[in-house]
C-alpha cells in the first residue's frame, strides 16, 4: 500500500515551457485541464464514482457504507481526506492514485484504482511507449534505486533538457519537444510502476515513459504566459531545508489572480512572499502558521516576484498555485474551483503487510505491480530476465517473491541501477 512518505530580487532568465499537447494531462500553461495538483491525486475532489472514466469500470461503494474496511466516512470526521456520504473516488491513504472500494471481489481484492483522465497534475504530459530502438527520449539517461519524479526532473534540468521521463520505477531519460512530437501515447494505466524512491509516486511502466516538463518543482523561473501553475521547489517531492527560490510572474493584463490548490509548509519559519516586481514592496506573506485564504486572491499589479525560503530544518509537501492574468482589475473571478487541500496523513501501519503469511495464498501479479489482498500495490525488485522474482516491497518479511506472470516477457529489460 502506498503511504505518504509525500521544501534577493533577481530578474531570472526565461525557462522555456512547452505548449499544451494532446496527452493525458495538461502542460503548465493549461492548469484548467486538471482536477489534481498532486502527483498521486490525493487532492482529487471530483465526482467520478466508477473505476473507469465515462461510466466504465465497476461502481464504487459509498464511503459511509465501508465501516468494515480501513477507510470510511467515520474514519474521516473532519473531511480531510474528502470522504463522506458519497461514492466518489478518493485517495485517503496517500496511495499512487485515487481508488475506491467495490462490491465485487477478485481473489479477495475488494478495491480498485480509478482511471480518472482529468486527475493528472499540470506538467505531466502523459504515458508514452518506449521500445528502446530508438528511445522515446533521446537525451542523457540514468538509473537509481532511489528514483522519484523530482530526482529525474532535477537530473534533466541540470543537463539542459525540456523533458524528463521516468520508466520502470528506477530509470530516467531526458529529451526535447522534438522527441515528444514523434512519440506514441500509451494508455495512462500502462504507467503503473511505483518509484523505487517513493511509494506514493508512479515512475512509468514496463516499456512506458511517464513524461514531465522539467519546470515542475524548479527553484526559479520567469512566467509570462496568460495562465499557468507554479509549484514549490522539489515538487512533487517535499521541499528541502535552506531553500531560497524566486519566480518572476508577469502575465499580460492589469492584475493577476492567484489560487492556492495546495499549501502545506512546516512552520512559521518557512515563508512565501508576494512582492510588487517594480517597487519591491511586500503585498502578501504566508507561512506554515498563516496559510493563504481559500479561493482566488487578486493583486493589483500583474508583475509579481514570488520568493520562498525554508529554514535549516524545514521540509513539507509545499504548495501549488495557479495564476491567470486579468485584463481588467475589476474582472470577475474565474470558474469556481476547489480551494487548497491538505494531503492525507500517513498511515498508522494498519493493513500494510506486504508478504502473505505462511499458508496464505500467493500474491497475484498484475502488470508491473504485485497486488495483494491487502489494499495497495507492491513493486518488483530491479528488473532482469523474464520471470525473475523480486522483493515484494519493504513492509513485510524480505524476500517473498512476486514473480512475473509465466509466459509474459518484459517489454524492455533495462540495465541495472547506476545512480543519477
pLDDT tens digits, one per residue of 289-341: 999 998 899 998 889 999 999 999 888 999 999 999 998 766 655 544 433 33
CA distance 104 to 274: 51
Residue 407 lies in a domain: no
Question: If we measure between CA atoms, which residue out of 396, 407, 382, 25 comes closest to residue 216?
Answer: 25
pLDDT(238) > 80: yes
What pLDDT, on a 0 to 100 scale, did the predictor assign at position 353?
Answer: 28
Structural domains counted in the chain: 3
**CATH, residue 232:** 2.60.120.290
Instruction: Let me know whether 203 and 156 are in one domain.
Output: yes
Residue 135 lies in a domain: yes
Residue 58 lies in a domain: yes
Residue 75 lies in a domain: yes
What pLDDT, on a 0 to 100 scale, did the predictor assign at position 31?
Answer: 52
In this prediction the pTM is 0.73
Instruction: Let me know whether 174 and 240 are in one domain.
Output: no
Last residue of a domain, one of 282, 302, 326: 326
Residue 408 to residues 113, 251, 387, Cα–Cα distance (Å):
23, 51, 8
Instruction: Let me know whether 85 and 103 are in one domain.
Output: yes
pLDDT(66) > 80: yes
Instruction: Let me know whether 102 and 174 are in one domain.
Output: no
Question: If we measure between CA atoms, which residue out of 198, 260, 195 comes closest to residue 229?
Answer: 260
Instruction: Let me know whether 237 and 318 are in one domain.
Output: yes
Which residue range is the domain that position 65 belongs to?
36-119
pLDDT digits (tens, 9 = 90+) for 79-99: 999 999 999 999 999 888 899
Does an H or E element contain 248, and which?
strand 244-249
CA distance 356 to 120: 32
Last residue of a domain, one of 85, 119, 153: 119
Q: How many residues does the structure list for the chain? A: 420
Residue 409 lies in a domain: no
Residue 178 lies in a domain: yes
Instruction: Let me know whether 106 and 130 are in one domain.
Output: no
Position 138 confidence tier, pLDDT thresholds 50, 70, 90: very high
Residue range 150-157: average pLDDT?
A: 96
pLDDT higher for 288 or 10? Answer: 288
Instruction: Let me know whether 182 and 268 are in one domain.
Output: no
Position 35 confidence tier, pLDDT thresholds 50, 70, 90: confident
Instruction: Let me know whether 224 and 318 are in one domain.
Output: yes
Position 413 confidence tier, pLDDT thresholds 50, 70, 90: low
pLDDT digits (tens, 9 = 90+) for 176-216: 999 988 888 998 888 989 999 998 899 999 999 999 999 99
Residue 334 lies in a domain: no
Last residue of a domain, one of 272, 292, 326: 326
CA distance 362 to 364: 6
What pLDDT, on a 0 to 100 scale, did the predictor assign at position 39?
Answer: 87
Residue 224 lies in a domain: yes
What pLDDT, on a 0 to 100 scale, did the predictor assign at position 375?
Answer: 53
Amino acid at each position: 500500500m502506498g503511504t505518504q512518505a509525500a521544501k534577493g530580487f533577481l530578474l531570472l532568465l526565461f525557462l522555456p515551457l512547452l505548449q499544451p499537447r494532446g496527452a493525458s494531462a495538461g502542460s503548465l500553461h493549461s492548469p484548467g485541464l486538471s482536477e489534481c495538483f498532486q502527483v498521486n491525486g490525493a487532492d482529487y475532489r471530483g465526482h467520478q464514482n466508477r473505476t473507469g472514466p465515462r461510466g466504465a469500470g465497476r461502481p464504487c461503494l459509498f464511503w459511509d457504507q465501508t465501516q468494515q474496511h480501513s477507510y470510511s466516512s467515520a474514519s474521516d470526521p473532519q473531511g480531510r481526506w474528502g470522504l463522506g456520504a458519497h461514492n466518489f473516488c478518493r485517495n485517503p491513504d496517500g496511495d499512487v492514485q485515487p481508488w475506491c472500494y467495490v462490491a465485487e471481489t477478485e481473489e479477495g481484492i475488494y478495491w480498485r484504482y480509478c482511471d480518472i483522465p482529468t486527475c493528472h497534475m499540470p506538467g505531466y504530459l502523459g504515458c508514452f511507449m518506449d521500445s528502446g530502438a530508438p528511445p522515446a527520449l533521446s537525451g542523457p539517461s540514468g538509473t537509481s534505486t532511489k528514483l522519484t519524479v523530482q530526482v529525474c526532473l532535477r537530473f534533466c534540468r541540470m543537463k539542459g533538457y525540456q523533458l524528463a521521463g521516468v520508466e520502470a520505477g528506477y530509470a530516467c531519460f531526458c529529451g526535447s519537444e522534438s522527441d515528444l512530437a514523434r512519440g506514441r501515447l500509451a494508455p495512462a494505466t500502462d504507467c503503473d510502476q511505483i518509484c523505487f524512491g517513493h511509494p506514493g509516486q508512479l515512475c512509468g511502466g514496463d516499456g512506458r515513459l511517464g513524461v514531465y516538463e522539467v519546470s515542475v518543482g524548479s527553484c526559479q523561473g520567469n512566467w509570462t504566459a496568460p495562465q499557468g501553475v507554479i509549484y514549490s521547489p522539489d515538487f512533487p517531492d517535499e521541499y528541502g531545508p535552506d531553500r531560497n527560490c524566486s519566480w518572476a510572474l508577469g502575465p499580460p493584463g492589469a492584475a493577476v489572480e492567484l489560487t492556492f490548490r495546495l499549501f502545506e509548509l512546516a512552520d512559521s519559519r518557512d515563508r512565501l512572499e508576494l512582492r510588487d516586481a517594480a517597487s519591491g514592496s511586500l503585498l502578501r506573506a504566508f507561512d506554515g502558521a498563516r496559510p493563504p485564504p481559500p479561493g482566488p486572491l487578486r493583486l493589483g499589479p500583474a508583475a509579481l516576484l514570488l520568493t520562498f525560503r525554508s529554514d535549516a530544518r524545514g521540509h513539507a509537501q509545499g504548495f501549488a498555485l495557479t495564476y491567470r492574468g486579468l485584463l481588467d482589475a475589476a474582472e470577475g473571478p474565474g470558474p469556481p474551483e476547489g480551494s487548497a487541500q491538505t494531503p492525507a496523513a500517513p498511515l498508522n501501519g494498519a493493513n500494510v503487510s506486504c508478504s502473505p503469511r505462511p499458508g496464505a495464498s500467493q500474491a497475484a501479479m498484475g502488470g508491473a505491480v504485485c497486488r495483494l489482498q491487502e489494499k495497495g500495490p507492491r513493486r518488483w525488485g530491479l528488473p532482469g530476465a523474464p520471470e525473475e522474482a523480486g522483493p515484494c516491497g519493504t513492509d513485510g518479511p524480505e524476500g517473498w517473491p512476486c514473480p512475473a506472470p509465466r509466459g509474459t516477457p518484459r517489454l524492455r529489460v533495462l540495465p541495472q541501477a547506476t545512480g543519477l
